[in-house]
Structure 1
Amino acid sequence: MTKLTARSYDEFLKSFRLEVPEHFNFAYDVLDTIAKDDPRRKAIIHVGPDGVRREYDFDWLARSSARLANALAERGVRKGDRIMLILFRRIEFWVTMMALHRLGAVAIPSPHLLTVKDIAYRVQAGHVRGCICEDSVAHTVHEAREQCSDFDLLIQCGPGQMLPGWQHFDHICATAADSFPRPADYAGGNDPLLIFFSSGTTGNPKMVEHRHTYAIGHYITGTYWHNLEPGDVHLTVADTGWGKAVWGKMYGQWMAGATVFVYDFRGKFDPAALLSVMAHEGVTTFCAPPTVYRFLIRQDLSKYDLSKLRYCTTAGELLNTSVFDDWKKATGLSIREGYGQTETTLQIATFSFMEPKPGSIGKPVPGWDIVLLDHDGNPCSTGEEGEICVRLRDDAPVIGLFNEYVDEPEKTAAAKCNGFYHTGDKAWMDEDGYFWFLGRVDDLIKSSGYRIGPFEVESALISHPAVVEAAVTGVPDPVRGQAVKATIVLSHDVEGTPELAKELQNHVKKVTAPYKYPRIIEFVDELPKTISGKIKRAEIRKRDLQAAD
């Protein structure tokens, strides 16, 4: 596809069409095509935890993934088998994903922080056949194996000691053929491609299944939201265990002609180290959650040569206006927000041909008919808060929308009902058609007749230099119905005092509407979170209710 040069959002919306080849399979239709037409084109630039820099071209990636596909096929992996990946940002992650796509096996990218219980649950619930994982988590997987039947294919990456019954990634690939022709019954189109276990803040995670067409849905992510051009070097800061990795480290970037830059750091995030590697490698386009930008602007950015950086994006949480302003002042670049879910590709975004509004997630992506619905299912008017919903049509399937919650038809039916997919997220739309995210439906606070989204209050709080993290929830109040409460983690050198609490309340009143300020402030050492880093506001609410009894 040829990238459109749109002068406005309306022109883009009118002109763009996503072409989906029949029975599309990314490994054969994109990876192998590039490897054939331009074999030496760089697919990945990788800097490992040892600081060693390596380049991998598309010919190498095609051959390596074919070798692994043959090795797995020899060990009985077939179309439809589910394989868990617990890998850091090592090159084997990309090789494995492409190999599984070739086989038609279903990839399950998973975080390395999973416990024995977490892994056992996922293997049992997902009928997982095998796992390819880091040597550092092999013992955890091995222990979980004792609770799981038919979990018999265990492959380790890295130099760690091999456990009984395990095989090594390098060994099984060493003698395998480096060609894997497209089978007659290859998987593609609406066949299952991958499963993400959603990191729900309550209950067990759901299994979100995507089709092979999901990959091509990210063409817009790379080409238009990241605004990539052939030859760009793109860095998305994301762990390979979560959906954001395939948003920014694979599908859309390669289709746009860019090289994926991988910084495989381990342990605690070091903003200075990230800036150094970005400068040294000449990263041209960058995507990271707002938290990362907050850490970066605390550094002396003048020390780093970011002259090649030309475009920046963010998603995952609300972008604070002060972060937007500070980053632009230091780099000259705006940060353009986007919105999507584990269940979707990019739904709403601020594109290059749009004027960014700090705090707004932008406008709907072509192919996504976004409607805000009130609690009665009626469309909302301008300025009115409603649930973000996607209109569904049988004659025009939404490319990138999940297929189902595996083995949970009632939850799938609840999410896809009455002609809409219900995201469970709240927003409002301004007179210019820009959407403003408010938070999860269950997280909204109803206080004295006002409906208050936690994100806006949290954004105001973290703009104060003493605040590192904040979670805003509602607590029962006999007069207001609910009162706004802020649970706050402070900088290590700051003490939580009544005077600071008052200062933070006044700060919020100045940054946002005064009625939204937190009447209750609690200082804590850390916030309860899921393994993906999402704040468990429901756990805070539950704890507060128990304390009130």
Structure 2
Amino acid sequence: MKHYDDNFTHDNLPPASLQAECFTGHSDFEFPDNLNCVEQLLDRHIAEGNGDKVAIRTFDITWTYNDLYEKANQIAHVLKDDLGFVSGNRVLIRSANNPMYVACWFGILKAGGVVVATMPLLREKELSVMTESAKISHAFSDYRLEDDILAVKSPFLKHVISFNGTGQGTSKLEVLMGNKPKTFNNYTTKSDSVAIIGFTSGTTGKPKMTAHYHKDILLICEAFPKYSLQPTTEDVFIGSPPLGFTFGLGGLVLFPFYFGASTFLLEKPSPDSLLQAIQDYKVTICFTAPTAWRVITTKVVDYDISSLRKCVSAGETLPIKVWDDWHDATGLKIIDGIGATEILHIFISSNEETMRKGATGLPIRGYEAKIVDAKGNEAPTGEAGRLAVRGVTGCKYLANEERQQKYVENGWNITGDIFRKDEDGYYWFVARGDDMIISSGYNISAIEVENVLLMHDAITECAVVGIPDEERGMLVCAYIVLKEKDKANDVFTKEIQDWFKASAAPYKYPRKICYMEALPKTETGKIQRFKLKKIIQA
């Protein structure tokens, strides 16, 4: 079936035989065949008479649902009327988190386009790879970030249109929008028409493009939020992840708008700006990464965050110490979760009733999971193995059948994470598949070593990797950021090692410790362990 005039995305989907099994099993997950997700996320609020309700705030801007609706409609007109756009064209967005980013996102889908959302830190090289891989024809860019996308040389990229993400003044897009109608007849997409392409982290070399349907966008709104957040129209969402990261897209756009709530967007989400916004705008739900929760905990005493009711962490596993420190400081429990760009959002997590400290949680509504060994057989309870997941969404790599065959086995998504399941069905993170350290025959989880080290009063942050060693195969190496930097010396290293051996199994102790001013992180807050491995090898 032809979904679009430009059918690139559908022509490059993996065959059905290589896709994960998806199921619904509940009426909440059933959507009509003709479906444009914008109608449920945005347009219906206007139709239901809620256009004057606040949709997006920043420290400087307030947009109602009607403001967002009209701007998205005008952007759709610009694409169709002025830019030679046809349905199915891939349209890139380059911007920090701001209201115009969201308007572009909706406008593209209204016109029948496929959104390729990106993160501000990407540069010409990565943007070029994405443009060539997805055959991107149009790009909307905040004028402050347009140099890198303008530098991309590609026969596919026909139009780069700048906008003013500050809300002050105009750029080309605002000028083109100026005389456009504020209504638009949305393109009639199917529920299984591709809506977005998400690039997984690491877009150099052969990229991994994940495709998600219009129904997928709505399915995740029925899954994690209903299980863990119980949102209402009065909730105010906030967070640090970029909208180019599906964790951020869900938490800061899809979930609030699906439930008629509002979102507070930060272009530069520092711990202080997050706390200031929570205090001043009575934010109720916050999404951020473990590293940010750690820092926020040290500052929360200076702010009134009494409005906050739900705290969500993802991107990396949540250390027990971070959970404990935040709970001690605020009385609030952080909801941990694991998701994947391939599956779109979180699929294992917890809520107030099911939370078990230290565990990632249980499969949320709409998903099921199991632990499998190297041959795909289900592992016994308590034994570590590969995490396999299936449910209402699943992996669909574009133009990469080899990778698709590795990610999907026998209808299950194999995430690349090592977990164990306890006798009560709770899932406990052990390591990324490539972060297990095998030293002198012992299997050592890097995350477990990190959790112990973070209990030491002198350590602010740490990351553990395995490094090659002739005698032991691999050594446990810890990169540590100290609260007092002048303590970094050999005597203190020995003190930490002895303390570790008294606190946990001695064979797990870090035989090598390197002190750092800061750990390398991605824009989404993940520690870049591959960079640490390169440091020691150099």
Q: Give the TM bin, normalised by the shorter chain.
A: 0.7 to 0.9
Structure-2 residue corresponding to 1:296: 296
User: 2:135 — aligned with what?
Assistant: 127
Structure 2: runs of 5 or more not aligned = 1-23
- In the alignment, structure 1 residue 32 sits paired with structure 2 residue 34: no
Equivalent position of 2:30 in the other structure: 19
The one of 155, 158, 161 aligned to 1:149: 155
2:244 paired residue among 241, 246, 252: 241
Q: Which residue of structure 2 lines up, in the alignment, with residue 60 of structure 1? A: 67
Moved more, 423-432 or 442-451: 442-451
Counterpart residue identity of residue 67, structure 1: Q
Aligned residues: 509
Q: Retained in 2: the 8 A contact 1:271–1:295?
A: yes
Which deviates more from structure 2 when the two are superposed, residues 301-310 or residues 524-533?
Answer: 524-533
Pick closer, same or farther for the CA change 1:401–1:41 going to 2, 3 Å.
farther
Match of residue 231 from structure 1: 234
**Deviation at residue 274 of structure 1 after TM alignment:** 2.3
Residue by residue over 1:314-358, the C-alpha shift from the partner in whole angstroms, topping out at 9 and shown as x without a partner, is: 11112222221221122211111111011112210112321x222
1:97 matched to 2:113? The reply is no
| Mapped partners of 2:204, 2:460: distance in 1 | 24
Offset from partner CA, 1:98-125 (integer Å, 9 cap, x none): 1111122111111111222121121112
Pair 1:520 & 2:520 matched: no
C-alpha distance in 2 between matches for 1:16 and 1:351: 22
Distance 1:538 1:174, change over 3 A: same
Report SS of the residue matched to 1:277: helix
Are 1:250 and 2:253 matched, yes or no?
yes
1:89 to partner: Cα distance:
1.4
> 2-side partners of 1:231 and 1:529: how far apart?
34
In the other structure, the counterpart of 1:5 is: none
How far 1:15 moved relative to its partner?
A: 7.6
Q: Does 1:263 align with 2:280?
A: no
CA pair 120-14 structure 1, distance change in 2 beyond 3 A: closer
Q: Note if contact 2:419-2:428 (Cα within 8 Å) is conserved in structure 1.
A: yes
> Given that residues 199 and 530 in structure 1 are in contact (C-alpha distance below 8 angstroms), is that contact kept between their aligned partners in structure 2?
no
Distance 2:353 2:106 in 1: 33
Question: What is the rounded CA distance, in whole Å, between the counterparts of 2:424 and 2:171 in structure 1?
Answer: 57
1:156 counterpart letter in structure 2: S
Instruction: Quote the RMSD (CA, aligned, Å).
Output: 2.5
User: Match of 1:107?
Assistant: 115
Aligned to 1:3: none
1:417 maps to which residue? 409
- 2:308 partner letter: L
**TM-score of the aligned structures, taking structure 2 as reference length:** 0.88
Residues 243-263 of structure 1, C-alpha deviation per residue, up to 9 Å, x if partnerless? 222120111222233222223
User: For residues 240-297 of structure 1, what are the alpha-carbon distances to aligned partners after superposition, in whole Å with 9 as ceiling and x for unaligned?
Assistant: 2222221201112222332222233x3xx54233212211111112221111111111
Compute the displacement of 1:386 (Å). 0.8
Displacement of 1:488 in angstroms is 2.6
Name the % identity.
Answer: 29
1:86 maps onto 2:81 in alignment: no
Candidates 467, 470, 473, aligned match of 1:475:
467
What does the per-residue CA deviation read over 1:475-533, in whole Å, with 9 as the maximum and x for residues that have no partner? 23344332211123344744421122223324444554443221111223454555555
Determine the C-alpha separation between the residues in 1 that align with 2:240 and 2:477. Answer: 31
246-255 vs 198-207, greater mean Cα deviation: 198-207
- Deviation at residue 31 of structure 1 after TM alignment: 1.5
Moved more, 166-175 or 314-323: 166-175
- How far the C-alpha of 1:469 sits from its partner, in A, is 3.5
Q: Whole-Å Cα distance in 2 between the matches of residues 500 and 213 of structure 1?
A: 55
CA contact (8 A) 1:505 1:518 kept: yes
Amino acid of the structure 2 residue aligned with 1:383 = G
Could you tell me which residue of structure 2 aligns to residue 452 of structure 1? 444
Paired residue for 1:504, among 488, 496, 501? 496
Structure 1's 463 and 14: CA in aligned 2 closer, same or farther, altered over 3 A? farther
Out of 304-313 and 14-23, give the one that drifted further. 14-23
2:204 is the alignment partner of 1:178: no
Q: Select the structure with the greater relative contact order (CA < 8 A; seq sep ≥ 6).
A: 2
Q: Which moved more, 1:201-210 or 1:444-453?
A: 201-210
What letter corresponds to residue 74 of structure 2 in structure 1? R
Greater CA drift, 523-532 or 189-198: 523-532
1:25 and 1:88 map into 2 onto residues whose CA distance is: 25
Amino acid aligned to 1:80:
G
1:317 aligned residue: 316
Q: Structure 1: how far apart are the matches of 2:230 and 2:498?
A: 39
Provide the rounded CA distance (Å) in 2 between the counterparts of 1:541 and 1:125. Answer: 29
SS at match of 1:329: helix
Between the aligned partners of 2:165 and 2:434, the Cα distance in structure 1 is 45
What are structure 1's unaligned runs of at least 5 residues? 1-12, 161-165, 392-397
Quick one: structure 1 residues 159 and 379, their matched pair in 2 at CA, closer, same or farther if it must change by over 3 Å? Answer: closer
Moved more, 54-63 or 36-45: 36-45
Relative distance call for 1:503 and 1:200 in structure 2 (3 A) is farther
Q: Give the TM-score, by structure 1 length.
A: 0.86
